[in-house]
Amino acid sequence: MKEIEEVVKTITLSLGSVIEGVSAIIIGYAAIRALVLYSKSSLTSFQTDKLEIRLSLGKSLAVALEFLLAADILRTAVAPDWDGIGKLAAIAALRTLLNYFLERELKHHQVQSVR
C-alpha cells in the first residue's frame, strides 16, 4: 500500500511540474509573439492595433495563471500539511485576484472595441 501511495505521489508531483512547464511555455510564447508584433508595428508600415496585442497577451497570461494554480493544487494535494495549505491559499487568492482583474480588463477592452 505504501508503494502505491509513493507512485501516486511521484506521478502527481511530476504532473504538477509538467503543468507548470506548460504555463511557462504559454507565457514565453505569448511574450515573444507580442514583442514581435509590437516591433513589426513600430518599425515598419505593418499595422497592428496595440490594444489587440495587449488583449492577446492578456488572454495568454490568464490561461497561464490557471495552469499555475492547477499545478499548485496538485502539489498540495499529495502532501497536505498546514504550511502547504496556507501557502496554497495565499497563492490561490493572489492568482485568482490577478486573473479576475485581468479578465475584467480584457472584457472592458473587448466591449470598447465592439463599439
Task: Note the pLDDT tens digit of each residue in 72-104.
Answer: 888 888 877 888 888 888 888 888 888 888 888
Question: What pLDDT is recorded for position 4?
Answer: 87
Give the pLDDT band (50/70/90) at residue 33.
Answer: very high
- What average pLDDT does this structure show over 35-49? 82
Task: Note the pLDDT tens digit of each residue in 58-68.
Answer: 889 989 988 99
Residue 81 in grid coordinates:
500539511
- The proportion of the chain whose per-residue pLDDT surpasses 70, expressed as a percent, equals 94
User: What whole-number distance in Å separates Cα of residue 103 and Cα of residue 58?
Assistant: 8
Give the pLDDT band (50/70/90) at residue 114.
Answer: low
- What average pLDDT does this structure show over 31-49? 85
User: What whole-number distance in Å separates Cα of residue 115 and Cα of residue 82?
Assistant: 49
Instruction: State the chain's mean pLDDT as an integer.
Output: 86
Residue 92 in grid coordinates:
490561490
Coil, helix or strand at residue 80: coil
More confident residue, 34 or 111: 34
Question: What pLDDT is recorded for position 5?
Answer: 85
The neighbour count for residue 56, using CB atoms within 10 Å, is 16
